[in-house]
Amino acid sequence: MAADTGATSGARPSSATETTGSRGGLLGPMRGTPAIQTQGLRKIYGHGKAAKTALNGLDLTVERGEVFGFLGPNGAGKTTTIRLLLDLLRPSAGRISVLGEDPRSRPELRRRIGYLAGDFVVDGRQTGADLLAYLGRLRGGVDRERVAALAERLDLDTSRRISGLSKGNRQKIGVVQAFMHAPELLILDEPTSGLDPFLQQQFVELVQEAKAGGQTVFMSSHVMSEVQATCDRVGIIRGGELAAVEQVEGLRQRAFRKIEITFAQPVDPAEFAGLAGVSDVTADGPVVRCRLAGTADELVKTAARHTVVDLLSEEPELEELFFAYYAHGEGSRR
Ligand SMILES: Nc1ncnc2c1ncn2[C@@H]1O[C@H](COP(=O)(O)OP(=O)(O)OP(=O)(O)O)[C@@H](O)[C@H]1O
Ligand SMILES: [Mg+2]
Task: Please state the φ and ψ torsions of residue 154, each to the nearest 5 degrees.
Answer: -95, 5
Q: How far is the CA of 151 from the centre of ligand 2 (A)?
A: 25
Give the model's pLDDT for residue 31.
56
Between CA 212 and CA 125 the distance in angstroms is: 37
Neighbours of 134 (CB within 10 A): 11
Give the model's pLDDT for residue 332.
36
- Our mutation pick for probing the ligand 1 site, out of 56, 74, 80, counting the most ligand atoms within 8 A of Cβ, is 80
Q: How far is the CA of 307 from the centre of ligand 1 (A)?
A: 57
Judge whether 266 and 282 are in contact, CB under 8 Å: no
Q: How far is the CA of 316 from the centre of ligand 2 (A)?
A: 27
Ordered per-residue pLDDT tens for the chain, 334 residues: 333 333 333 333 333 333 333 444 444 444 579 999 999 999 999 999 999 999 999 999 999 999 999 999 999 999 999 999 999 999 999 999 999 999 998 778 999 999 999 988 888 889 999 999 999 998 888 999 999 999 999 999 999 999 999 999 999 999 999 999 999 999 999 999 999 999 999 999 999 999 999 999 999 998 888 999 999 999 999 999 999 999 998 888 778 889 999 999 999 999 999 999 899 999 999 999 999 988 899 999 999 999 999 999 987 777 777 777 777 544 433 3
Neighbours of 183 (CB within 10 A): 21
Neighbours of 105 (CB within 10 A): 17
Give the model's pLDDT for residue 32.
77
Between CA 115 and CA 83 the distance in angstroms is: 10
Give the model's pLDDT for residue 153.
96
pTM, 2 dp: 0.81
Identify the structural domains of the chain with CATH numbers, from first to last.
Answer: 23-251 (3.40.50.300), 256-313 (3.30.70.2470)
Between CA 165 and CA 240 the distance in angstroms is: 35
Q: How far is the CA of 61 from the centre of ligand 2 (A)?
A: 19
Task: Please state the φ and ψ torsions of residue 179, each to the nearest 5 degrees.
Answer: -90, -20
Q: How far is the CA of 276 from the centre of ligand 2 (A)?
A: 41
Alpha helices in 106-190 (DSSP H): 128-138, 144-153, 167-179
- Our mutation pick for probing the ligand 1 site, out of 58, 60, 74, counting the most ligand atoms within 8 A of Cβ, is 74
Between CA 86 and CA 74 the distance in angstroms is: 20
Q: Please give all residues whose beta carbon lies within 6 A of any atom in ligand 1, as ranges.
A: 45-46, 52, 54, 72, 74-80, 118
Judge whether 132 and 180 are in contact, CB under 8 Å: yes
Q: Where in the chain does DSSP place strands (E)?
A: 36-45, 52-62, 67-71, 93-98, 113-116, 185-189, 216-220, 233-238, 241-247, 257-263, 278-284, 287-292, 308-313
Q: How far is the CA of 39 from the centre of ligand 1 (A)?
A: 20
CA 207 centroid distance within chain: 9
Ion ligand 2, residue ranges at CB < 5 A: 78-79, 118
Closest listed ligand to the CA of 116: 2
* For the CA of 190, the nearest atom of ligand 1: 27
Judge whether 215 and 66 are in contact, CB under 8 Å: no
